[in-house]
Structure 1
Amino acid sequence: MEDRKLTVRAVERALDILMCFTKSSELGLTEIAGLIDLHKSTVHRLMTTLEEKGFVVRDAATEKYRLGLKVWELSTHLSKSDDPAVLFLPGMERLRDRLGETVSLYLRDGKDRLRIQAVQSNQAIRRVAQVGARLPLYVGASSKVLVAFASPEDQQELFLDSEWPEMPDSGAYMRMLEEIRERGYATSFEEREPGAAAVAVPIVNRSGVVAAALSVSGPVGRISTDTLHEFAPVLMEAAHEMGLMI
């Protein structure tokens, strides 16, 4: 008999609700119901339970919900010994001080990349990187790194996914990924976000597996394509030191 993953539907739905708050900090019942395709009455029952347990808080004036302190309480008990966001923070701060631009750390999460840490530039005009932001894997320097250094099996799974966009020239895209693997870094210039440029490198752990993507980004008024290539060796050196820690 084929093995089947056993799940509890109510738990799945409750977790789906909590994940809605990665898209917005405040949501109403109708918005949540639309996001997870559930009847409003079902969402209301689940929200009542989540509220009683402290995972969400309801604003009586707006009738909207936001995450509760119980979520924060859980996050404080995350293991710090192997948490990349904690381990790599000092190195990211040194990198920011050396290059003067915003430094971000990304993990791949399914078909997305998740920014788990960021150190903002100290300059008056800077690119602000929000921790917790979820971004697509098909555009941006860090995305290209995470795809380029993924296993062939993982790449194939991504490319065959119905949500993966059809590339105008798939051959050119594959050649780009090969070039990224050969030189060890990727760049982007106003690809995902107008006015922003970035360079990213993989962080490879001691087992030879890509654990994360490390990037430096800033405004195009201060960062040219030449600047990105000048930043790359510095970024690669920092990523190598971080990889030895995990």
Structure 2
Amino acid sequence: MEDRKLTVRAVERALDILMCFTKNHELALTEISSLIGLHKSTVHRLMTTLEEKGFVVRDSRTDKYRLGMKIWELSTHLSHSDDPAVLLLPAMESLRDRLGETVSLYLRDGAERIRIQAVQSNQAIRRVAQVGTRLPLSVGASSKVLVAYASPSDQEELLNLPNWPDVVDKEQYRRQLVEIVEKGYAISIEEREPGAAAVSVPIIDRSGKIAAALSMSGPVNRLSAETLREYAPVLREAAREMGLMI
């Protein structure tokens, strides 16, 4: 029984290490040790095994680690039959071509949102959205859409998390959530990122639940509040059609 517990613990620690790379492209041994709270010698043993199996690669010049090809190999075997990032990509590309700005797709994961798909604007000056980026739910148009269409219990759980930012007024945030549901969209101007503006709408699946948040974003010199509101109906119609696909 004890051996089994130790084995499970080792697996959990190895997975914790891999999850460190969701926010970092490269990491040194000391950085990984600090992130997961384990001694360097323990991390080194785990990294050695992960490296031997191809899940991480060590750069001998910088002595830093990055994800290995084995991760990519596993990802190629994922089923894409019901993956919104794959199913909705053509519609997102069509929306980008129509509006001329970057289009992104977000899912909620606990107290964060993840950008699972993005179609970059073709304009010279554009907002580049990286797939896989994790962002807080306290700010941003897509964040508020994902929270606004969550259940009341989920909303309260999020707002009462210990790490909820003190600078974000909870009562004002709750009022914003009500307004978003009433309007069917949310906008943000330099709320999370200087120089960037966005409008986001919910994608409601065939069961009537929110499946994702669809967002269009770009530089503030092209996207005023008035322009974002004008684009909102276009996004809502696109999201309605996307909802029929999932």
Q: 1:116: which partner in 2?
A: 116
Q: 1:62: which partner in 2?
A: 62
**1:22 shift after superposition:** 1.4
How many Å separate the matches in 2 of 1:242 and 1:234? 12
Q: 2:126: which partner in 1?
A: 126
- Which piece of structure 1 moves more, 53-62 or 118-127? 53-62
**1:140 shift after superposition:** 0.3
- Which piece of structure 1 moves more, 22-31 or 165-174? 165-174
Paired-residue identity, % = 77
SS of the residue 1:21 aligns to: helix
Counterpart residue identity of residue 77, structure 1 = H
TM-score using structure 1 length: 0.95
Q: Is the 8 A contact 1:103 1:216 kept in 2?
A: yes
Q: Is the 8 A contact 2:159 2:170 kept in 1?
A: no
Q: 2:51: which partner in 1?
A: 51
User: What is the CA deviation profile of residues 115-174 of structure 1, one whole-angstrom value per residue up to 9, with x for unaligned ones?
Assistant: 010000000000000011000010000000001111011112111211112355432221
SS of the residue 1:214 aligns to: strand
Q: Is the 8 A contact 1:167 1:173 kept in 2?
A: no
Counterpart residue identity of residue 23, structure 1 = K
Counterpart residue identity of residue 128, structure 1 = V
How many Å separate the matches in 2 of 1:66 and 1:167? 35
Q: Is the 8 A contact 2:95 2:238 kept in 1?
A: yes
1:155 matched to 2:155? yes
**1:194 shift after superposition:** 0.2
1:140 matched to 2:140? yes
How many Å separate the matches in 2 of 1:159 and 1:11? 32
Q: Is the 8 A contact 1:33 1:39 kept in 2?
A: yes
Gaps of 5+ in 1: 1-6
SS of the residue 2:159 aligns to: helix
TM-score using structure 2 length: 0.95
Distance 1:169 1:24, change over 3 A: closer
Q: 1:4: which partner in 2?
A: none
Gaps of 5+ in 2: 1-6
How many Å separate the matches in 2 of 1:166 and 1:127? 28
How many Å separate the matches in 1 of 2:166 and 2:19? 27
Counterpart residue identity of residue 193, structure 1 = E
SS of the residue 1:218 aligns to: strand
The equivalences for 1:58-207 within 5 A come to 58-166=58-166, 169-207=169-207
User: What is the CA deviation profile of residues 174-218 of structure 1, one whole-angstrom value per residue up to 9, with x for unaligned ones?
Assistant: 111100011110000000000000000011100011010000000
Counterpart residue identity of residue 127, structure 1 = R
1:12 matched to 2:12? yes
Counterpart residue identity of residue 143, structure 2 = S
Counterpart residue identity of residue 192, structure 2 = R
SS of the residue 2:27 aligns to: coil
Q: Is the 8 A contact 1:33 1:40 kept in 2?
A: yes
Q: 1:231: which partner in 2?
A: 231
How many Å separate the matches in 2 of 1:73 and 1:157? 37
How many Å separate the matches in 2 of 1:168 and 1:145? 16
Counterpart residue identity of residue 170, structure 1 = K
Counterpart residue identity of residue 216, structure 1 = M
Q: 2:30: which partner in 1?
A: 30
